[in-house]
Amino acid sequence: MEKNRAYCLYYYVFGDLMNQRGGRDEFVSQGYDTWNKKDAFRTHEGSVDSLHNKAKEKCDFLLREKQAINIVLRRQTEAEDHKYKDRLRVSIIAVRLLLKIGLAFRGHDEWVNSGNRGLYIEVLKAIRVTNENIFNNTLENTPKNNQIISPKIQKDLVQCFVQEVLLSIHQEIGVDVFALLVDESSDVSRKEQLANIRGQGYDRASNMREEFNGLKALILQENDTAFYIHCFAHQLQLVVVVVAKKHDGVSDFFEQISLVVNVVCASCKRKYILRDQARERVQKGLCSGELETGRGLNQETTLVRAGDTRWGSHFNTLTSLVKLFADVLVLLEFVQVDGGSLANRQQASGILAYFKSYEFVFYLYMMYDILRLTGTLSKQLQKKIQTF
């Protein structure tokens, strides 16, 4: 475009859309510069149905705010944002509930036709039926790539809660001192799980107390004023374990107890026999008056397997053995006759012979009393109000 020339913007933009090119060059490509002809602009504008006015009408339609493409797209985007936020809000409610009560999120079969798609999706389904707007904006009523139900999305939501909890703890602590007690226990898959966060203490395991790569060293790298305190309850447990393992008679006693549990709990059939025998004994005792009735008395129980790293669990094993001793004898006599294999019958015979020995009776009552006392002390050492 050249200076000192007049051009028609409306006709320049929309003239081609009306398939009219005649007479456009003067106000479009060349520009109008014949300024002595004053009626030229009015002539170009023409009547109501002229090409100029039609082009102007189309331009007005384009520039109208409510009909502009960018406005329509923005409104559509805002509507989708509102739907997504509503969908995300319901997902956050479901995640908060499952995290609060410590339940698993995922299911074995999460397909649409599954009867149980996992707790996360099932909770979403339960919430959405309470509100029509939420129902129309969740799960199958949304795009498949925007349902907020994929495993990765679930993990991301959980991680967001983790960050919020850490931020809340950090804000609460501020510049004050803090304590962190760290312990671990193995789950059924033999993986170590972190548990029992109470204060900064450690057991004597190398992965906790090691000078260079232990958890203690890693914490001291972040905070050199942290105190290293060996858990008193764990020290007590270590003392009991070391003393028991150093004594041949006690060590052999607990090996025999472990063997008893393995034989009794080897099959469901033996567990059923033990349970039925105990029920029959209790019924006879109640009928004869030998046993008292009352709340918490005569509860159904079974032999408890002792844990490898929790010496206090051995007390529970001995307690259950004392309560079920007569029933265990009946079961062992059954295995001794109908054990199925020679090894099973020989195991049952060996245990029955050991039960008749003085050593068994002596160690049973001695260790029962010792573990009962140390168990009580261990619980006292783990109380929140305990200070040292």
For residue 184, what are the β-bridge partners? 194
Helices (H), 205-304: 206-209, 215-222, 232-246, 248-264, 268-288
Quote the radius of gyration of the chain (alpha carbons, Å): 41
> What are the boundaries of each domain within the chain?
9-63, 83-162, 177-230, 238-381
Per-residue pLDDT of the chain (388 residues; tens, 9 = 90+): 667 777 777 766 776 655 554 445 566 666 677 777 777 777 777 777 777 777 777 777 766 655 556 666 666 677 788 888 888 889 999 999 999 988 888 888 878 888 888 888 889 888 888 888 888 888 888 888 888 888 898 999 999 999 999 899 888 877 776 666 666 666 666 677 665 744 555 555 666 666 667 777 777 787 777 766 667 777 777 777 778 778 888 888 888 888 888 888 877 888 888 888 778 877 777 777 776 676 656 566 677 777 655 666 788 888 888 888 888 888 888 888 887 788 888 888 998 899 889 999 999 999 888 888 888 888 787 776 665 5
Count Cα atoms within 13 angstroms, Cβ side, for 279.
Answer: 7
C-alpha 57/C-alpha 329 separation (Å) is 103
The amino acid at 202: Y
- CB count in 10 Å sphere of residue 143: 7
Characterize 77-86 residue by residue with b for buried, 16 or more Cβ atoms within 10 angstroms of its Cβ, and e for exposed: eeeeeebeeb
Q: Are 200 and 225 in contact (CB under 8 A)?
A: no
179-186: long-range contacts, CB 8 A cutoff, minimum separation 24 = 180/219, 181/231, 182/208, 182/215, 183/231, 183/234, 185/309, 185/310, 186/309
CA count, 13 A, side-chain hemisphere, 356? 8
pLDDT at position 319 is 86
Q: Is 373 exposed, middle or buried (0-12, 13-18, 19+ CB in 10 A)?
A: exposed
Beta bridge partners of 185: 193
Is there a contact between 285 and 353 (Cβ–Cβ < 8 Å)? Answer: no
Nearest to 311 by CA among 384, 361, 254: 254
Taking CA 197 as the corner, what is the angle to CA 191 and CA 203, rounded to the nearest 5 degrees?
65
Angle between helices 325-338 and 313-323 (to 10 degrees): 80
In one-letter notation, the amino acid at residue 22 is: G
What the block records as the tokens of 36 is 């002595």
Q: Are 328 and 274 in contact (CB under 8 A)?
A: yes
Instruction: Compute the distance between CA of residue 211 and CA of residue 228 in angstroms, rounded to an integer.
Output: 12
Please report which residue ranges of 289-324 form alpha helices under DSSP H.
313-323
Tell me, what amino acid is at 30?
Answer: Q
